Structure 1
Amino acid sequence: MTQDATPGPAPSTLRDSARRTLLLEQQAIAALIERLDADFDRACELILACRGRVVVTGMGKSGHIAGKIAATLASTGTPAFFVHPGEASHGDLGMITPGDVVLALSHSGETAEVTALLPLLKRMGVPLVSMTGRPTSTLARHAEAHLDAGVEREACPLDLAPTSSTTASLALGDALAVALLESRGFTAEDFARSHPGGSLGKRLLLRVADLMHQGSRLPRVPLGSPLRDALLEITRQGLGFTCVVDDTGRLVGVYTDGDLRRTLDQHRDLGALTVDEVMTVPGKRAHPEMLAAEAVRLMEDHRISALAVVDDQGRPIGALHMHDLLASGVI
């Protein structure tokens, strides 16, 4: 005979615990604001003047936070990487050069693997920025700039597991990265260049010319063509529209699937129509150097699924469909 499983805590108790944790961590982050001082400015100045890279280090949970801070710095215009302090004492110190700045994290400020690096850093003349929870600690006292990430208590009910302290350090690292980003004049396009595989990079770097159909894939009929020819061209190319061009090759209008529906509502004898009589004039168009994200907005604003792409003389050189933008990851 099987026994029933021991019931767990009531859902409300679980939520109460979660709320208490989040509130304590929120308070820990809020307390950092009042402790920002001239040392924060000094830390930023040291990093902005750095000719090398920011080497971020930390042990245990602080090491995990240090790794994230290094990644955030690197992606926002400040070259940075993480070095494990234990490995640094066994050869990886060679990764640090005199032109670098070291950012060292330790909640106590006394972590042996981190403080062991102090004499070596001083000998190399590498500036040290520390981030600790104790401004009087060894690491804080030997740093050119100290960032105070202290917390009143951990969110852990035993006040032991790093929770509020790691959250505070992470937030302070973000504050440092953003201050540096703004000081450097780092732009969204700069960010995209370091994230070419991400959706942001695709939105900011891809241009219409990278995605448009061209050459034999460009749907096009001459002005004065029978409507039947325009419909055949739309069907053949499968982009839902065709360009209509004049004798000089300039775009004078477009005929779309939507236009066809309106034509069927308004005309009984399609065989007698030319495309000129029912086309949309002048038709929405894009430039090949337009950002793909701009083309998306143009399509969404006008509720269309395709665009003619024209050159500086107004001649169609390509066609862009919403499916191309979806497939590329722009949207």
Structure 2
Amino acid sequence: MSQSSNLIRSAQRTIRLELKAVEGLLVHIDADFVRACEMILASKGRVVVVGMGKSSHVGNKIAATLASTGTMAFFVHPAEASHGDMGMIAKDDIILAISNSGMTSEIVTLLPLIKRLGIKLISLSGNQESMLTKAAEVNLNVRVAYEACPLNLAPTSSTTTALVMGDALAVALLEARGFTAQDFAFLHPGGTLGRSLLLKVENVMHSGNELPHVRLGTLLRDALIEMTCKSLGMTVIIDANGRLAGVFTDGDLRRSLDRHIDIHTAIVDAVMTPHGKTAHAEMLVTEALKIMEEYKISALVVVNSDNCPIGVLNMHDLLRAGVL
């Protein structure tokens, strides 16, 4: 058998073993899981995640996921906790200790102090008879029959199940808190999702002197000059009261040329698109994007409550804002 075949078989075996391990978690989403969630929801403090070795990497990720989904959490390395970092943990906090064996010495060393301080402890372990699980108020069982490692030594299936259990905990808490997409955006203001959920049309639209506009009755050639000067590929048409009468775009220009309209003598009223699709300044850019996608247009006129144009938003603005 070729080396390529062996590599593929090995990878597939690993995935199957880890899938089986994750499926095995379903029976452990039980009363203990509910109790762990209720403890965290009732807590006035934070969730302090601890773990050694590979569990420290998993713990960091679980803490980050909890923190970004509405549960105050952070990671403390248990070895550092024994050398001063226990001072970071308050009485109202809850410790979530990750150890597949439940016998990790650096965590076991902390157990008497955790009990002495009266800090509540949740264990995430595969050993129900370990010192850690017996010391904890509740254990989230992540037991696996075999590691995906063929030597049954390297943490593979066990770290995967620990990570998945952490995600299950975070999502259950998220839903119990009624955590919304808007809440998520406030915790992720620098990301694409945050920008798309927080950014409003008024933050990215062209307004003031950047807004291309002409009045009804304007010669088409003058409307084209306005479009060229403002470089947005369109101009707004307003009536005598300053309200939106229509828009004239590059697409309208092409259609006008197909109709053999004389751009020097025609007035813009005859070739504009009446009214046109609009947005409001306080609208989220994601809502404006939906309108543009639904009607297959590349620009929206932004109007106020009196239907007077106050800005223009186009696809290039959304690209620059990082929404697309």
Normalising by the smaller structure, the TM-score range is: over 0.9
- CA shift, 1:210, in A, is 0.3
Q: Aligned to 1:200, which of 193, 196, 210?
A: 193
Match of 2:104 in 1: 111
Gap change, CA 1:175 and 1:294, over 3 Å in 2: same
What is the 5 A alignment of 1:151-190?
A: 151-190=144-183
User: Which amino acid is 2:196 matched to?
Assistant: R
Match of 1:3 in 2: none
**1 CA distance for matches of 2:93 and 2:212?**
57
**2 CA distance for matches of 1:193 and 1:9?**
52
- CA shift, 1:269, in A, is 2.2
**2 CA distance for matches of 1:188 and 1:36?**
25
Normalised to the residue count of structure 2, the TM-score between the two structures is 0.98
Match of 2:22 in 1: 29
**2 CA distance for matches of 1:41 and 1:301?**
43
**1 CA distance for matches of 2:24 and 2:284?**
42
Residues 203-222 of structure 1 deviation map (CA, whole Å, 9 limit, x = unaligned): 10101000001110000001
* 2:268 corresponds to 1:302: no
Counting matched residue pairs gives: 324
- CA shift, 1:9, in A, is 5.2
Matched-pair identity in %? 59
Q: Aligned to 1:272, which of 265, 272, 294?
A: 265
Q: Aligned to 2:309, which of 291, 294, 316?
A: 316
User: Which amino acid is 1:278 matched to?
Assistant: V
Q: Aligned to 2:136, which of 110, 127, 143?
A: 143
- CA shift, 1:266, in A, is 0.9
Residues 250-283 of structure 1 deviation map (CA, whole Å, 9 limit, x = unaligned): 0110000000000001134222211111100111
Gaps in structure 2 of 5+ consecutive residues: none
**2 CA distance for matches of 1:36 and 1:77?**
21
Residues 234-260 of structure 1 deviation map (CA, whole Å, 9 limit, x = unaligned): 100000110000111101100000000
User: Which amino acid is 2:291 matched to?
Assistant: L
Q: Aligned to 2:230, which of 237, 240, 244?
A: 237
Helix, strand or coil at the partner of 2:247? strand
Moved over 3 A (4+): none
Helix, strand or coil at the partner of 1:90? coil
What is the 5 A alignment of 1:284-295?
A: 284-295=277-288
* 2:66 corresponds to 1:70: no
**1 CA distance for matches of 2:317 and 2:28?**
50
**2 CA distance for matches of 1:273 and 1:63?**
73
* 2:249 corresponds to 1:256: yes
Q: Indicate the RMSD between aligned Cα atoms, in angstroms.
A: 1.0
- CA shift, 1:10, in A, is 2.0
User: Which amino acid is 1:52 matched to?
Assistant: G
Normalised to the residue count of structure 1, the TM-score between the two structures is 0.96
What is the 5 A alignment of 1:198-237?
A: 198-237=191-230
**2 CA distance for matches of 1:296 and 1:238?**
20
Helix, strand or coil at the partner of 1:150? coil
**2 CA distance for matches of 1:169 and 1:296?**
39
